[in-house]
Structure 1
């Protein structure tokens, strides 16, 4: 009898509280270390993961996260799912939440400290997208592989065909002409904001 090869896989459920991104990073670093993923790729994956989890913990009304967790706040807590899969040299990161709205890139000014998450996901992953799982909500996914952390040219019309089986579908790509990439201080402000997460 022949064994069917299995894909290394990890799943974690987290409360959608402000500390979810930190717990997700700790879990991911541990799992990827056990899978012997190269450290530079782990750093890229952690950046993508942080953005996806941070987007998932934003409540539907985009209200600011509370500074203190009271019983009233905890009664509204929902779960988000983190799924990691190792597919050869590629790591698939999937984050599931209860909000059905698709991820939407924001147009932000050069001085803004927030709102560039999907821009980073776009440029740090080989491809990304979202789908609506059968049990509701949405799953946003990104594939990160060695050599895909540099910005790649994208066109506004580049699309992959949708998949009727409910597998990941790519989102509309972000076009570079709407992004303030000529600002030499932009990446510095983004990194400072990420360190504060």
Structure 2
């Protein structure tokens, strides 16, 4: 059997960040949370609160991980764009996955959904074409790499952002 060294303080800080992220949220807003060292998963409601909940939760986790303000700002923008895209263009369920990787130093972001919706969400449906549609370009500009995986349960959009200079 192999001994694995676990940094209990880092685990506690990360789990504490997720728990703190949910203080004050309306009941039922967070469906499920599973966390282990360096990896975080969060199920989100398919509604107008999803991006805000995702940003708040991600901020706390990135702070617990010791990320710089620059990294934090870029990851939050990418998370917001990917979650908003899922709410406006896809079916439920929506989940956010965060992972930090050491080599190269990156934060890996994934947002999974239930696949394309037949009609756009209420925000996209209510505005002119020039008022939306730049999320993918924003992600492409900020991410070192990004892409889409289509699977039997839906679609996953992902991005890798550098977390160290």
| Deviation (angstroms), 1:98 | 0.4
TM-score by length of 1: 0.56
Alignment of 1:43-62 (within 5 A): 43-60=73-90
Give the RMSD, CA atoms, in angstroms: 2.5
Number of the residue aligned with 1:144: 161
Higher share in helix: 2
| Deviation (angstroms), 1:117 | 0.5
SS at match of 2:131: coil
Number of the residue aligned with 2:60: 30
Stretches (4+) displaced over 4 A: 4-7
Higher share in strand: 2
| Deviation (angstroms), 1:132 | 2.4
Corresponding residue to 1:116 among 134, 144, 147: 134
Q: Which runs of 5+ in 1 are unaligned?
A: 61-76, 102-110, 149-197
Conserved in 2, the CA contact under 8 Å of 1:131 and 1:140?
yes
Conserved in 2, the CA contact under 8 Å of 1:100 and 1:132?
no
Number of the residue aligned with 1:21: 51
SS at match of 1:2: coil
Corresponding pairs, count:
122
Task: Select the structure of larger CA radius of gyration.
Answer: 1
TM-score by length of 2: 0.66
